[in-house]
Amino acid sequence: MHVHILGICGTFMGGIALLARELGYEISGSDANVYPPMSTQLENAGITLSQLDDPGQFDAKPDLVVVGNALSRGNPAVETVLNQGLPYTSGPAFLAEYLLKNRWVLAVAGTHGKTTTSSMLAWILEHAGLNPGFLVGGIPQNFGISARSGSEPFFVVEADEYDTAFFDKRSKFVHYRPRTLILNNLEFDHADIFPDLDAIKRQFHHLVRTVPGTGLIIAPEHDANLQAVLSLGCWTPLEAMGDSDNATWSIQNVNDDGSQFDVCLKGERQGTVKWPLIGMHNVHNAIMAIAAARHAGVPVAHAIAALGEFQNVKRRMEVIGEARGITIYDDFAHHPTAIESTLHGLRHKIASGRIIAILEPRSNTMRMGIHKDSLADSLAEANQVVLYQPDDLGWDLDYVRSRCKPPCQVMSNIEAIIQFVTQTAQNGDHVLIMSNGAFGGLHKKLLDALQ
């Protein structure tokens, strides 16, 4: 079967391409924006890429077209598929039909931490010798790829609440039918498709409805939004993470940067995680992954040992390099909650070092200005802030600059940012670059300039 994928270079659709290739299908695909690390993965897998606007991409008459959710009516490729009557489906539906049937699906949902927690869970299962399949929205460095089919029965999937496709406006995760479900957290996001928080809660409720009574749901007891979702109806056993007497899982003796902590099950200490990750958000992610792995049969002690060898996902506090004693990090943080937690962890890790935080407001929600009132506070632990103002942002970042506690600059081009950092950064500084896109290649350009 020849499968052609529209929007193939997105992390999710690129993963679909790799999985379909493993199944033995002939794979081709197109996209408008091609950049590493996904483009590198696809090229290494021998998958041919073309431009999204190339009319010749359908000359081979594929047996099935998988349409990414970034494409809508009016896109020439979508119109060609419809006009030629080519069979088409969505990425989540393809995954459910061709990969997840008869699998024990472990899904990770939530506003933050999906990719990292999914990667932790896949690694714990791998460390236990279970050879799980997985599809995550990044590249776990323990595996070096974002997706694989693995061995039955286990399959770990990052369960995104974003909509499925132009013809299916349900959240992606309703297709997956997990037996084990992690609900990490829930805040308002994706303002481009959800009118309010209640609309997101409704989709999460639909997800909860798909988990069987023989399955397991894991959720933090302190997240009021998730508790509101569960109050709408829950037909599955629930394990809570928190500090109350009713919590199944809890954390003790966390050091300042989150690189060491004790794991407790029903009040009994199970062991200590010592790892290279930082931040309380990652401590919470770890507990969730340990709990899900236990449901799949992995003893807690084995999961703790696995996390000691866990390497974080690329673009999650990834060290790009060091020059002149200045360390450059690449981080995916694009929501004020994630930005604040990331900066907090880095602050405690480096103690007295200066942090220069550079942010590109690139997510759809950020570009709409939804988070502008909380963005300044989330950057408080930096020593210097640089905000990138692209021409098409639609709102003025000076609004945030005027509210920032640390000194803050707003700049409208990459070269200006490079010049500013190279002139102001000192030996011992840490430059944290935050974006969920390529950011014009800033990471490497800045490293080269410093060198």
CATH of the domain at 178: 3.40.1190.10
Q: Is 79 helix (H, G, I), strand (E, B) or coil?
A: helix
Distance of CA 366 to the CA centre of its chain: 16
- 164 touches 175 (CB < 8 A): yes
Co-location of 164 and 298 in the same domain: yes
Report how far residue 153's alpha carbon sits from residue 133's, in angstroms, rounded to the nearest whole number: 8
- In the chain, the percentage of residues whose pLDDT exceeds 90 is 65
CATH of residue 406's domain is: 3.90.190.20
Residue 125 pLDDT greater than 70, yes or no: yes
Is residue 95 in a domain? no
Give the residue-averaged pLDDT of 103-119: 94
Report how far residue 354's alpha carbon sits from residue 431's, in angstroms, rounded to the nearest whole number: 8
Residue 34 pLDDT greater than 70, yes or no: no
**61-110 pLDDT, tens digit each:** 999 999 999 999 999 999 999 999 999 999 999 999 999 999 999 999 99
Q: 165-174, 261-270, 316-325, 401-410: lowest mean pLDDT where? A: 316-325
Q: 8-12, 239-243, 358-362, 436-440: lowest mean pLDDT where? A: 436-440
**156-181 pLDDT, tens digit each:** 999 999 999 999 999 999 999 999 99
Co-location of 291 and 146 in the same domain: yes
Co-location of 126 and 232 in the same domain: yes
Distance of CA 344 to the CA centre of its chain: 19
Report how far residue 10's alpha carbon sits from residue 444's, in angstroms, rounded to the nearest whole number: 21
Distance of CA 195 to the CA centre of its chain: 22
The amino acid sitting at 251 is I
Residue 37 pLDDT greater than 70, yes or no: no
Q: How many residues does the chain have?
A: 451
Give pLDDT, residue 8.
93
Co-location of 214 and 116 in the same domain: yes
Instruction: Write down the number of H helices and E strands in the chain.
Output: 15, 23
Q: What phi and psi, each to the nearest 5 degrees, are found at residue 52?
A: -60, -30
Give pLDDT, residue 314.
73
Co-location of 57 and 155 in the same domain: no
Mean pLDDT of all residues in the chain?
A: 91
Q: 31-35, 48-52, 67-71, 329-333: lowest mean pLDDT where? A: 31-35
Give pLDDT, residue 395.
86
The whole domain housing 109 covers: 100-307
Is residue 47 in a domain? yes
Give the residue-averaged pLDDT of 130-150: 92
User: Number of structural domains, the chain?
Assistant: 3
- 356 touches 429 (CB < 8 A): yes
Co-location of 294 and 347 in the same domain: no
Give pLDDT, residue 433.
93
Residue with tokens 């109350």, as numbered in its chain: 244
In the chain, the N- to C-terminal Cα span, in Å, equals 49
Kindly state the tokens that stand for 140.
């776990």
Give pLDDT, residue 235.
97
Give pLDDT, residue 439.
84
Kindly state the tokens that stand for 44.
């290494």
- 181 touches 107 (CB < 8 A): yes
- Residue that is last in its domain, among 67, 90, 113: 90
Structure confidence at residue 35 as a pLDDT band (50, 70, 90): low
- Residue that is last in its domain, among 90, 125, 142: 90
